[in-house]
Structure 1
Amino acid sequence: MNFALILLILSVVTGIAWIADKLVFAPQRKAAGIDRMPLWLEYTASFFPVIFAVFFLRSFLFEPFKIPSGSMIPTLMIGDFILVNKFTYGVRLPVINKKVIEMNSPERGDVAVFRFPKDESVDYIKRVIGLPGDVISYQGKRLTINGQEFQSEAKPDYLDPEGMTYAKFFKETFPKEFGGHSYNVLNHPERPPGIFVQDRFPYAENCTYTMTGVTCTVPKGHYFVMGDNRDNSADSRFWGFVPENNLVGKAFFVWMNLGDLKRIGRFE
């Protein structure tokens, strides 16, 4: 469902009714001594300010999303409702998604929402690992960027709530020259390190697959993303790169989780 398109249509319809009421119907009622607005105007013109405000906020400022899977555990949990900054990667026109104002580009370590390249009606959320031109290698469950290995600090084992199995818990850090951003990741030692891809994707020739992992050179205008729950995430290792035009925004805040109110305000 294209909710942005629905809001746009509702904004246009109720906006026309609102303008018509201000310019035509309200003066006629005043001249006739009628105070009450007709029912059809009450359910159109009266709702225009609210619908337009929601449309504007959701299209240009902040949009709520619900986390449907465990691919970003332990950073984001299933059931988290998050807010996404829609303008941090540039202002785009709603529905057609055309960028009209350039702003910031994604940075390594950002948690980004984007339209899934294989089905753009579906929104995905992953962590940005590689920028255009970066060489990202994930071999033996160890991550490197342009030949430099990420720092990895072991923590106590973590009970992955999605599979109810214990996973190795690490604090992973980009090399300093690549931002030094830190975040938590999970690895399941019983899962094999090899990555098997059945369908080819755009720029698949930029990736080399082995029995121990994958190495990819990120093409211009694209990004390499991964889930923090490394062995429970379908990401760039499997379906390829995220085009810049598919970016929706940067996730930054958990505003609700009905199953765990302590999650509110967290984003680790």
Structure 2
Amino acid sequence: MKEWIRDIGVAVCAVLLTLQFVQTARVSGVSMQPNFQPNDLLFLSTQSYNNRDPKRGQVVIFRSALKDQNGKKELLIKRIIGVPGDTVIIRNGRVRVNGKEQKSDYTKDLTTNGDITVLVPKDSYFVMGDNRLHSVDSRFSDVGFVRRESIRGRVVFRILPLNRIGRTLDTGERR
């Protein structure tokens, strides 16, 4: 009996400890297709950026200025395209960061709408959805630059659906 109680105690401690470092989030839209689908259940690391900066190509979940039906700020999932100090240029369907054209083989559409030139401010990030034609992201004033403190975590693992369970991949890597 004591071993059973001890095992339950260890399991409860493990779950509580895990919840300090990992949260779950569910994808609710199509802006990250083909890499993330509606209703995908994801683990995000809430500690990823405590001692290091977010990097280009990483997928993050952040609290946006957009409001849901209840008036609460929406959580969005997007890919980091530009980091502080980067110059992001979108023109003629192409995305360039600091003069270098970005790979687009992970996007749903191989072209990107917009005619934008921006300098990413300190402590901010330029983010875009992988489904560029159906994404409200940093190209639009409703989202704009994402402040570092708005980032809830880095997407690291897909839990559901079971046929797609596994580690999530950064820019250029496809499932």
Bin of the TM-score, shorter chain as denominator length: 0.7 to 0.9
Rg larger in 1 or in 2?
1
Q: Contact between 2:65 and 2:73, CA under 8 Å: does it hold in 1?
A: no
| Aligned ranges 1:90-239 → 2 under 5 Å | 90=50, 103-119=51-67, 121-151=73-103, 170-171=104-105, 184-187=106-109, 193-194=113-114, 213-238=115-140, 239=143
Q: Contact between 1:117 and 1:242, CA under 8 Å: does it hold in 2?
A: no
Q: Contact between 2:156 and 2:167, CA under 8 Å: does it hold in 1?
A: no
How far is 1:256 from its partner? 1.1
Partners of 2:45 and 2:167 in 1: how far apart?
A: 16
Aligned to 1:265: 166
Higher helix share: 1
Say whether residues 1:246 and 2:126 are aligned partners.
Answer: no
Distance 1:244 1:266, change over 3 A: closer
SS at match of 2:133: helix
Q: Contact between 2:78 and 2:137, CA under 8 Å: does it hold in 1?
A: yes
Give the total of aligned pairs.
153
2:30 corresponds, among 62, 65, 70, to 70
- Greater RCO between the two (CA within 8 Å, min separation 6)? 2
SS at match of 1:117: strand
Code of the residue aligned with 2:164 in structure 1: it is R
Cα RMSD after superposing both structures? 2.3
TM-score normalised by length of structure 1 = 0.52
1:57 corresponds, among 3, 15, 18, to 18
Over the matched positions of the two proteins, sequence identity in percent amounts to: 35
Q: Contact between 2:84 and 2:123, CA under 8 Å: does it hold in 1?
A: yes
Distance 1:193 1:121, change over 3 A: closer
Q: Contact between 2:32 and 2:130, CA under 8 Å: does it hold in 1?
A: yes
TM-score normalised by length of structure 2 = 0.78
Q: Contact between 1:67 and 1:80, CA under 8 Å: does it hold in 2?
A: yes
Partners of 2:102 and 2:46 in 1: how far apart?
A: 29
Q: Contact between 2:66 and 2:73, CA under 8 Å: does it hold in 1?
A: no
Code of the residue aligned with 1:84 in structure 2: it is L
Aligned to 2:8: none
Task: After superposition, give the CA deviation of every residue in 1:10-46 in whole Å (9 maximum; x if it has no partner).
Answer: xxxxxxxxxxxxxxxxxxxxxxxxxxxxxxxxxxxxx
Partners of 1:122 and 1:138 in 2: how far apart?
A: 25
Q: Contact between 1:136 and 1:144, CA under 8 Å: does it hold in 2?
A: yes
